[in-house]
């Protein structure tokens, strides 16, 4: 909070006597008058050079510009609070002055106590607003404040960077002109959550797949929330939108998903290798188990042929019953060899298939 003995005031008044009287009142209250300006142009020049803490601005000034126009430029470029001091209280003048969001409005003739209260109130308000602006400006999220008509009242630096709109350009514009949202997949416009927050009078969160279209046409994935702004009485006066660039989080999620998929692939490959090994073991075991009895059968047939041949049965008359024995033995031998050949071919085929899988 400002102390009186530290507050430096610039007086802007084109009536010299009134200016001196105002200076005396301010100094009697403990304020420091840094200078007096008698025109809007001089006020802007002296404010830029002297950087006072506060300006007391007469509305009607000589020259092409009046006090209201001077106040607009001073606040825009220097952020110095202005209190209007004027003898004009007509509706049009008051409405014009109100549009510049002054920090006070004092009617002439000026009363010392009223002057003191107005200045202290203005300085306290300025300190609070500067503190809030500093907090919001230092946030890592974009912040946009609108009134009930969706006219933009505040835009912090992060919001400026994300939207491409400067605060002085966006001020007073409609929300939908500055913030354009579309669905990431369909590219269909998405309703701003501020609208729903005002309609439902509660906090609304934006979906996870929403893109912000910046002023230059670039798109940025964002995530945000909107909540109504209320007075102490509970009356809603507007809403605030808080949002941030979701690009890094998306990249992290995609990276994590890729890692997860890679791990799943490794697990599947390991499982396939295990199954292939079991299959190979099974084939080796099956081949051995199938070959063993067939080989024994083949050996038994050969032994039986030798035995029958030694007894002269196989060399007897073709019309004898031994003809059937020889024919049956021949059939057994041929079928046994065919089975052995099939087992060999099947094993070779499976080996080729396994080699093909490994190569792929």
Tell me, what's the pLDDT at 43?
A: 93
Q: Convert 209-222 into a string of H (helix), E (strand) and C (coil).
A: CEEEECCCCCEEEE
Torsion of CA 93, 98, 101, 107, to 10 degrees: 60
Residue 20 or 93, more confident: 20
Q: Which pLDDT value is given to residue 1?
A: 43
Q: What pLDDT shows up at residue 130? A: 75
Burial per residue of 221-258, b for 16 or more beta-carbon CB atoms within 10 angstroms, e otherwise? bbbbbbbbbeeeeeeeebbbbbbbbbeeeeeeeeeeee
Q: How does DSSP classify residue 6?
A: G
Query: Which comes out higher in pLDDT, residue 355 or 332?
Result: 332
Please determine, for residue 279, whether its predicted confidence score (pLDDT) is greater than 50.
yes
pLDDT level of residue 83 (50, 70, 90 thresholds): very high
User: Residue 2 pLDDT > 60, yes or no?
Assistant: no
Of 134 and 357, the one with more pLDDT: 134
Is residue 48 a contact partner of residue 78, using CB atoms and an 8 Å limit?
yes
- What mean pLDDT comes out for the span 241-266? 72
Indicate the average pLDDT of the chain. Answer: 80
pLDDT tens readout for residues 321-331: 556 666 666 77
pLDDT band of 70, cuts 50, 70, 90? very high
The top-scoring range by mean pLDDT among 114-118, 222-226, 304-308 is 114-118
Kindly report the pTM of this predicted structure.
Answer: 0.51
Condensed to tens digits (0 to 9), the pLDDT of residues 91-136 reads 787 878 887 778 888 888 888 889 999 999 999 888 887 777 666 6
- The Cα-based distances of 8 to 2, 52, 327, 348, 359 in angstroms read 10, 5, 130, 100, 84
* pLDDT above 70 for 283: no
């Amino acid at each position: 909070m400002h102390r009186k003995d530290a507050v430096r005031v610039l007086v802007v008044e084109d009536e010299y006597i009134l200016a001196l009287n105002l200076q005396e009142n301010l100094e009697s209250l403990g304020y420091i008058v840094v200078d007096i300006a008698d025109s809007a142009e001089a006020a802007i020049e002296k404010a830029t050079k002297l950087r006072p803490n506060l300006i007391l601005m007469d509305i009607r000034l000589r020259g092409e510009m009046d006090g209201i126009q001077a106040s607009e430029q001073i606040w825009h470029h220097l952020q110095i609070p202005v209190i209007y001091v004027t003898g004009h209280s007509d509706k049009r003048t008051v409405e014009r002055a109100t549009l510049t969001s002054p920090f006070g409005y004092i009617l002439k003739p000026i009363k010392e106590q009223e002057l003191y209260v107005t200045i202290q109130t203005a300085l306290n308000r300025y300190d609070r607003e500067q503190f809030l602006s500093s907090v919001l400006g230092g946030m890592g999220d974009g912040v946009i404040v609108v009134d009930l008509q969706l006219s933009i009242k505040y835009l912090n630096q992060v919001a400026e960077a994300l939207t491409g709109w400067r605060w002085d350009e966006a001020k007073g514009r409609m929300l939908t002109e500055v913030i354009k949202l579309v669905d990431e997949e369909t590219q269909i416009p998405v309703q701003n959550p501020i609208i729903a927050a005002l309609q439902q009078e509660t906090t609304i969160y934006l979906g996870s797949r929403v893109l912000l279209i910046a002023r230059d046409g670039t798109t940025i994935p964002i995530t945000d929330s909107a909540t109504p702004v209320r007075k102490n009485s509970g009356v809603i006066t507007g809403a605030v939108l808080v949002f941030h660039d979701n690009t890094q989080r998306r990249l992290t999620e995609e990276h994590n998903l890729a890692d997860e998929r890679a791990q799943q692939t490794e697990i599947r490959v390991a499982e396939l290798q295990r199954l292939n090994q079991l299959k190979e073991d099974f084939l080796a075991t099956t081949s051995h188990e199938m070959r063993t009895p067939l080989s024994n059968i083949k050996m038994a047939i050969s032994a039986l042929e030798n035995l029958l041949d030694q007894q002269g049965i196989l060399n007897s008359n073709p019309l004898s019953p031994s003809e059937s024995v020889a024919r049956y033995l021949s059939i057994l031998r041929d079928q046994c060899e065919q089975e052995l050949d099939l087992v060999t071919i099947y094993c070779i085929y499976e080996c080729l298939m396994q080699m093909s899988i490994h190569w792929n």
